[in-house]
Structure 1
Amino acid sequence: MTGHDRISIALATYNGGRYIKQQLDSIQHQTHQNIMIHVCDDGSRDNTLDVVRSHALYQQGKIRLYPGEGGLGAMKNFRRAIACCEDGYIALCDQDDYWVPEKLALLLNEVQSHEQGGARPVLAFSDLAIVDTVLEPLYPSFYRASIKSSSASQPEDFVVSNHIPGCAMLFNRALKQLIEPMPDDIRMHDWWIAMIAAHSGKISYVDRPLIKYRQHSNNTVGAPGILRKRLLPDSLLCLRSYPTTRKHSHMMLSALKHFCQQHQSDHTDFLRVIRGEAGVRHKLSLMRRARNGERKLLSCAIWWMV
C-alpha cells in the first residue's frame, strides 16, 4: 500500500451519538486501512464528540476532529468536511450508517481503473442495503426498490434530481478540484458532486450493496425515492412536489451554468439547454433519454420549465 492509496473520509456529524460508534466500528474493520477520517461536527448537544474521542480510531491518530458552533446544516457541514480532505481520494460518510468491510477497497479499485493515472475526474459509487434502526434489512437493494437509477451518468440525468447518495461515493482528487468551491445555494453536496462528475468526468457503478443505509426518524434526507414509491398517483405527487423540485433544479442548473463558463464541456446538446438556446423539440429529445429519478409527470413539468 502506498501513499497514493490514502483515502480521506469526510464525516459530518450532528447529534449522532446513538449510532456513530457503529459507523466508526465499521470503518475500523475495513480491509483498506490507509485512511484519515475528518469529523466535522455542527454543534452537537449530545455525546457525539465524547464517543468520537473515546474510539480506538481516534486513539490511533486516524481521526481529526473539527468541532463547530452549529447552524451550518448538512450541506455546508459536509462542504467543510470535504475541504478538510487535503490528500488522497475522498469518501463521504454519514454518521448513522454501517459499511461492509470491502467498501473502500472496492470503490478505490473502481476509481483507479478509470482515472487514467489520476488525470481524469472519476466518481465511483455502490448500491446500498436499506436497514432499520437495528440494522435489520428493509430493502436489499436501494436501486431495485427506488425510482432512482444506478445507470445515471450523463448531465441530463441529474437535471431533475440526484441519483447517488453521498455515503455511497468515493472520488479522486481531480474531481475534488472541480467541485470546489461548492456553491452556497444548491440543495445538497452530493447532487453537485454527481452533476460535475457527469459533466466533466466519469461516473462508475459497483453493483453491490456496500453500505447498510439506516432509516430512522432523524435522517436529514432519508433514502430518496423509496418511501413514497407507489404511495401517491402521479398527478397528486406532481402538484405537491413541483414547487420545491423546480426550485432545487433551477438552483442546480444556475450553478452549473456558472461552472460551464469556466470549464470546457463536450456536452454541447446539454449546454444549449441550460443556456436557454434549445427549442422545445431539442429539450424533449434530451428529456426522453434522461434518467430523471422522479415520477414521469413531475419530470416533464421540470424539463418544460428548464
Structure 2
Amino acid sequence: MHRPGAGGRSPTCSTRGFRVNHPSFQSQPKEAPLTILLASYQGADFISAQLRSIAKQTLGNWRLIVSDDGSSDGTPDIVAKFATDCAPGQVQVVSGPCQGATQNFLHLLSIAPDGPVAFCDQDDVWFPDKLARAMVALSAQDGPAHYAARTVITDAALNPVAPSRHFRRPLGFRNALVQAIMAGNTSVFNAPAAAILKQCVAPAQNHRIPSHDWWAYQITSGAGAVLIHDATPALFYRQHARSEMGRNDTLAAMTQRAGMLMSGDYAVWLGRNHAALDAVTTVFRPENRRILDRLGDALCQPGPYAAATMMRTGLYRQTRTGTAALYAAALMGRLRQP
C-alpha cells in the first residue's frame, strides 16, 4: 500500500472491480466541471494533507467550496493560504451552520453550483486519480449516477491498517433504507444526481437526518440512479481521536452498532430519514414510493407485524447477520416510532 511521497503506485483508472447496477457502464471519460464540497471544523492538524492531495488530482477541472463550522484553530487560514496557490475563484470558504457535520454537508449541497459534486472529509488523503476514476465511471451515464469506492483505513499517521469492507449484495433502495454503505468521503455525483440531491436537501435539513451519506444513498437509489461501487480504494481514511465517524469493520464497531439497533437510537434515525424522504417522493420511482410507504407502516406497527412487513418488503442489510439483527429489532418492537 503506498504512502504519499513514498514512491508507491496509486490505484489506476482501470475499471476492474467496479460494481454497477446498470448494464450500460463503460469507461469513456468526459470533461466536466466538478465541485468538491468540504465540511471543516477544527481541522488544522490534518486538513493541509487533504488539500495537497486535492491539488495533486489528475483531474484538473475542479473547484472547492469549504464550509467551516466556526473553527478556532486556524483551519480557515490554512484553506485561505491554499487558495492563493490555486486559480482565482477556484477555492471558496464560506461560513457553516455550526450544527454538526451532517448539517454542514447539507448546507454545502444547498449552495453548490449546478454540475457534478463530490463530498470531501477534512482529514483523509485522496489518491491522485480519485476524481478521475469517479468521472470515468460517471461519464458513461446519461441519467443520474452515484459513485462511491472502498478506502484504505489508516491510523492517525496514515499508516495503513486495513482496506474497508467490500459489500457484495446488490445496491438499491431496499438496502439504502436500512443501511449506509456508499461512503460519503468517496461519493461523487454526476450533474443529474446532484440536481436531485439539491432538490431534496431542505427536508433533510428540517428533519435533522443523522447522516448525509446515508441520506444521499437513499435519495439516489430511490430516484433510480445508477449506483457504482468501486472495489479499488480511492483514499486513505484516517482514524484519529476526533474522527466524526469511525471505521465500521471491527468487532467492537459492529457490536456497538448492534447495540444502537436495539437501544432505540436506530429507530430515531429511521424515523428522521423516513420523514425527510416522505417529503420528496415525487423524485422516486413508483415502486420505491411503495417501498417507502411499507417502511412507514412497519415503523408504526407492533413488533411481530413490523418484522413481517419488513420481510415482505424485502429490506436487507449487506450481511445475513445484519439482516437477521434488523428483523430481530423489529420483532422486539425496537424500531417502533413513539
Interval of TM-score (by shorter of Structure 1 and Structure 2):
0.7 to 0.9
Q: Tell me which amino acid in the other structure corresponds to 2:248.
A: P
Counterpart contact for 1:41–1:66, Cα < 8 Å: yes
1:230-285: CA deviations, max 9, x gaps?
Answer: 657x9xx4477531111101211222222225644333662451352897655314
Among all aligned residue pairs of Structure 1 and Structure 2, give the percentage whose two residues are the same amino acid.
23
Aligned residue among 30, 33, 55 for 2:57: 30
- Residue 154 of structure 2 corresponds to which residue in structure 1? 131
- Residue 204 of structure 1 corresponds to which residue in structure 2? 228
User: Once structures 1 and 2 are overlaid, which stretch shifts more, 254-263 or 156-165?
Assistant: 254-263
Aligned residue among 132, 135, 160 for 1:108: 135
Counterpart contact for 2:36–2:119, Cα < 8 Å: yes
- Alpha-carbon separation, structure 2, partners of 1:274 and 1:240: 16
- Residue 12 of structure 2 corresponds to which residue in structure 1? none
- Alpha-carbon separation, structure 2, partners of 1:239 and 1:28: 39
Counterpart contact for 2:182–2:229, Cα < 8 Å: no
Aligned residue among 34, 41, 49 for 1:14: 41
Q: Does 1:191 align with 2:214?
A: yes
- Alpha-carbon separation, structure 1, partners of 2:320 and 2:181: 6
Distance 1:202 1:59, change over 3 A: closer
1:197-220: CA deviations, max 9, x gaps?
Answer: 111112111110011000001011
- Residue 97 of structure 1 corresponds to which residue in structure 2? 124
RMSD value over aligned CA atoms?
2.9
Q: Tell me which amino acid in the other structure corresponds to 2:95.
A: P
Distance 1:270 1:292, change over 3 A: farther
Q: What is the CA-CA distance between 1:22 and the residue it aligns to?
A: 0.3
- Map 1:1-306 onto structure 2 (within 5 A): 5-55=32-82, 58-61=85-88, 62-68=90-96, 71-113=98-140, 115-116=141-142, 120-139=143-162, 141-144=163-166, 149=167, 151-180=169-198, 181-182=200-201, 183-184=204-205, 185-200=208-223, 201-226=225-250, 228-229=252-253, 237-238=258-259, 241-260=262-281, 263-267=284-288, 270-276=291-297, 281=308, 283-287=310-314, 290-291=317-318, 295-304=322-331, 305=335
Gaps of 5+ in 2: 1-28
Could you say what secondary structure the match of 1:16 adopts?
Answer: coil
Distance 1:137 1:46, change over 3 A: same
Counterpart contact for 2:30–2:136, Cα < 8 Å: no
Q: Tell me which amino acid in the other structure corresponds to 1:135.
A: L
Counterpart contact for 1:257–1:274, Cα < 8 Å: no
- Alpha-carbon separation, structure 1, partners of 2:313 and 2:261: 25
Counterpart contact for 2:274–2:292, Cα < 8 Å: no
Distance 1:111 1:294, change over 3 A: farther
Distance 1:291 1:303, change over 3 A: farther
Counterpart contact for 1:94–1:167, Cα < 8 Å: yes
**Number of residue pairs aligned between Structure 1 and Structure 2:** 292
- Alpha-carbon separation, structure 2, partners of 1:56 and 1:37: 9
Could you say what secondary structure the match of 1:143 adopts?
Answer: coil
